[in-house]
Structure 1
Amino acid sequence: MLARSARFTLAAAGVAVALTSFAGPAVAAPTPSAEELQSTLTRFTDPNVPSAEKQTLMVGGDRRASNIDTMTGKLANYGTIGWGVSGVQVDGESANASVAISSPHGTMPGVPMTWEYADGSWKLSEGTACTILAMGKAAC
Structure 2
Amino acid sequence: MISPTARVTCTAAVLTALATLTGCSSDSSEDTAPATTTPTTTTSTVAAAPVTTEQLQTQIDVFFDPAATSADRAAVVENGTARLAVLDQFTGVLAGYPLTGTVGEITTVDADTVTATTDVTGPHGGAPMPLTFEQVDGTWLIADESACSVLSMGRLSCE
Partner in structure 2 of residue 124 of structure 1: 142
Partner in structure 2 of residue 6 of structure 1: none
Q: Tell me, which stretches of 5 or more residues in structure 1 are unaligned?
A: 4-20
Is structure 2 residue 32 aligned with structure 1 residue 39? no
Contact 1:71 1:137 in 2 (8 A): no
Contact 2:79 2:144 in 1 (8 A): yes
Is structure 2 residue 77 aligned with structure 1 residue 58? yes
Q: Tell me, which stretches of 5 or more residues in structure 2 are unaligned?
A: 1-8, 14-39
Q: How does 1:11-22 map to 2 (within 5 A)?
A: none
Q: Give 2:101's match in structure 1, choosing from 83, 98, 101.
A: 83
- Structure with more of its chain in helix, by fraction: 2
Identical columns (%): 32
State TM-score, norm by structure 1.
0.76
What is the Cα deviation at residue 82 of structure 1? 2.5
Amino acid in the other structure paired with 2:155 = K
| Structure 2 residue matching 1:70: 3-state secondary structure | helix
Q: Find the aligned partners of 2:74 and 2:48 in 1 and give their Cα distance.
A: 21
State TM-score, norm by structure 2.
0.68
Q: RMSD value over aligned CA atoms?
A: 2.3
Is structure 2 residue 112 aligned with structure 1 residue 97? no
| Structure 2 residue matching 1:67: 3-state secondary structure | helix
Over 6 Å off, 4+ runs: none
Structure 1 stretch displaced more, 33-42 or 56-65? 33-42
Q: Find the aligned partners of 2:154 and 2:48 in 1 and give their Cα distance.
A: 30
Aligned residues: 123
TM-aligned CA distance change 1:63 to 1:89, over 3 Å:
same
Structure index of larger Rg: 2
Q: Give 2:153's match in structure 1, choosing from 111, 135, 138.
A: 135
Amino acid in the other structure paired with 2:134 = E
TM-aligned CA distance change 1:23 to 1:70, over 3 Å:
farther
TM-aligned CA distance change 1:78 to 1:89, over 3 Å:
same
